[in-house]
Amino acid sequence: MVAQVVSPLHSTTDPTYQTALRQYDRAVAYLSNLPDGLIEFMKWPRRELSVNFPVRMDDGQVHVFTGYRVHHNTVLGPSKGGIRYSSHVNLDEVRALAMWMSWKCALVNLPYGGAKGGVVVDPYKLSETELANLTRRFTSEIILLIGPKIDIPAPDMGTNAQTMAWMMDTYSMTVGYSVPAVVTGKPLNIGGSLGREEATGRGVIVCMLEALRQLEMVRSPRDISVVVQGFGNVGVHAANRAHALGFKVIAVSDVTGGYYNPKGLDIPAMKLYTARNRTLSGYTGDAEKITNAELLELPCDVLLPCALEGQLTGQNAAKIKAKLVVEGANGPTTPEADDILRDRGITVVPDILANAGGVTVSYFEWVQGLQEYFWDEDEVYRRLERILVRAYDEVVTTSEKFNVDMRTAAQITAINRVAQATLTRGFYP
């Protein structure tokens, strides 16, 4: 019997959630042997928590903030997913990101379900003390949903290792003893993993190298031009790794705009500049200032969207000149853009594969925390590369089997893993 879900989710107007749901519908169309009720079950979040909570600001006023934590699917294990601080956060966006986490963890064979959380706040407008107070109170509000065996948060847009340190401390103070494994992406001196900060960007470049090989674009790295949108955690480390391997990174951008030099940018200098100034604004190195829209349409070999959702759309996909797109961000490409890029012969390595390096090293951090035994950086990177290359090969095999693009292939592979695990476990009671 088909489960009847009477839910407002059916009528979402949020473009990110619409993208996630449409991708799901596309992929499950190839899994026609699965029961209809199972397909319906995997589509919706398992549980959701919305919280409104007060924070005392530096001027003595109390502000009320809204936050969310969503567990999408927990069949494969405890749920895992980032915490986002942004003024654009909304429940549907968090639902979409939680769903992608379920597929991402399944795709790289991690024993995790998918989750996501967020607070509606512009973190750059808060002082350090206000951010600490907000994070501690939010952690306390969602504490009944998190824990090292329940749900393990990590950084995402607008949050970082310090945010995770405050979350870990708040959780530990509540239970009465230190619990490093309750979050990942922590600072090293409280149980973080070597390589975690760089992991997502590094994984993007592992996938880029695999794709270049597959597409037989095996020229010298110096002859391959790379454009990176977003210069935060993912973008900085992707650009830096590409630069270190000798690729010509010709443009990067952040929310304040882009910088272009067809001969190649000085990425280490730009990395240092943002570390000191938070953004690229005011950077005066050898580069022409361009907009984010112009950056996406630059002539280049590889485009790495590493900022946010909905960047490659039905409006600009026909103007994209890259031959290869590797998605560092979650959901940067809409289904309309996917169709246009595929028809134009542009390969897109999808988010749930290309940015899975972050959650993979988060998994390593969690394992190290539980065992209280820490690995060296070489070990982290060696294992990371092995997992990503294997997942990449599996996606290629599935795409050939079903004659579909890499996104649909990645989702078919991941969703089928969650489906088979659900069928093996059976439906409780």
Give the active site residues. Answer: 116
The residue (of 38 and 249) whose beta carbon lies closer to ligand NAD is 249
Residue identified by tokens 């943002």 is 274
Residue 145 vs residues 26, 51, 65, 423, 426: alpha-carbon distances, Å: 31, 12, 18, 25, 23
Q: β-strands 62-73, 151-155: how paired?
A: unpaired
| Sole binder of ligand NAD in the list 81, 114, 264, 358 (CB under 6 A) | 358
- Under rule CB under 6 A, residue 232 binds ligand NAD: yes
Q: Do residues 386 and 137 touch, judged by C-beta distance below 8 A?
A: no
| Sole binder of ligand NAD in the list 329, 352, 395, 404 (CB under 6 A) | 329
Q: Do residues 364 and 388 touch, judged by C-beta distance below 8 A?
A: no
User: Tokens at residue 191, please?
Assistant: 């149980």
The residue (of 155 and 350) whose beta carbon lies closer to ligand NAD is 155
Span of 50-58, 70-78, 251-259, 391-399 interacting with ligand NAD by CB under 6 A: 251-259
Count of residues of this chain found to bind ligand NAD when the rule CB under 6 A is applied: 25
As measured in angstroms, the least distance from the Cβ of 206 to ligand NAD is: 14
* Buried-exposed string 222-239: b where 16+ CB fall within 10 A, e elsewhere: eebbbbbbbbbbbbbbbb
| Sole binder of ligand NAD in the list 66, 292, 316, 420 (CB under 6 A) | 292
The residue (of 38 and 384) whose beta carbon lies closer to ligand NAD is 384
Residue identified by tokens 């026909």 is 318
The residue (of 162 and 279) whose beta carbon lies closer to ligand NAD is 279
Single out the residue of 351, 342, 292 nearest to residue 19, CA to CA. Answer: 351
Taking CB positions, which residue lies at the least distance from ligand NAD? 232
Span of 67-75, 265-273, 303-311, 415-423 interacting with ligand NAD by CB under 6 A: 303-311
As measured in angstroms, the least distance from the Cβ of 31 to ligand NAD is: 25
Which 126-165 positions form the footprint of ligand NAD (CB under 6 A)? 155-158
Span of 1-9, 44-52, 165-173, 230-238 interacting with ligand NAD by CB under 6 A: 230-238
Binding characters for ligand NAD, 272-291, by CB under 6 A (x = yes): -------x------------
| Sole binder of ligand NAD in the list 229, 360, 398, 413 (CB under 6 A) | 229
Q: Do residues 113 and 81 touch, judged by C-beta distance below 8 A?
A: no
Which 392-411 positions form the footprint of ligand NAD (CB under 6 A)? none
The residue (of 38 and 234) whose beta carbon lies closer to ligand NAD is 234
Q: Do residues 261 and 309 touch, judged by C-beta distance below 8 A?
A: no
The residue (of 103 and 231) whose beta carbon lies closer to ligand NAD is 231
The residue (of 41 and 258) whose beta carbon lies closer to ligand NAD is 258
- Under rule CB under 6 A, residue 231 binds ligand NAD: yes
Contacts of 354 (CB under 8 A, 6+ apart): 203, 204, 207, 208, 326, 327, 328
As measured in angstroms, the least distance from the Cβ of 292 to ligand NAD is: 4
Which 188-207 positions form the footprint of ligand NAD (CB under 6 A)? 200
Residue 213 has a CB neighbour count (10 Å cut-off) of: 11
- Under rule CB under 6 A, residue 254 binds ligand NAD: yes
Residue 263 vs residues 291, 325, 395: alpha-carbon distances, Å: 18, 20, 34
* Buried-exposed string 61-83: b where 16+ CB fall within 10 A, e elsewhere: eeeebbbbbbbbbbbbebbbbbb
Single out the residue of 164, 215, 228 nearest to residue 192, CA to CA. Answer: 164
What is the C-alpha separation between 403 and 20, in angstroms, rounded? Answer: 21
Residue 90 has a CB neighbour count (10 Å cut-off) of: 16
Where along the sequence are the contacts to ligand NAD (CB under 6 A)? 155-158, 200, 229-235, 253-255, 279, 292, 306-308, 328-330, 355, 358
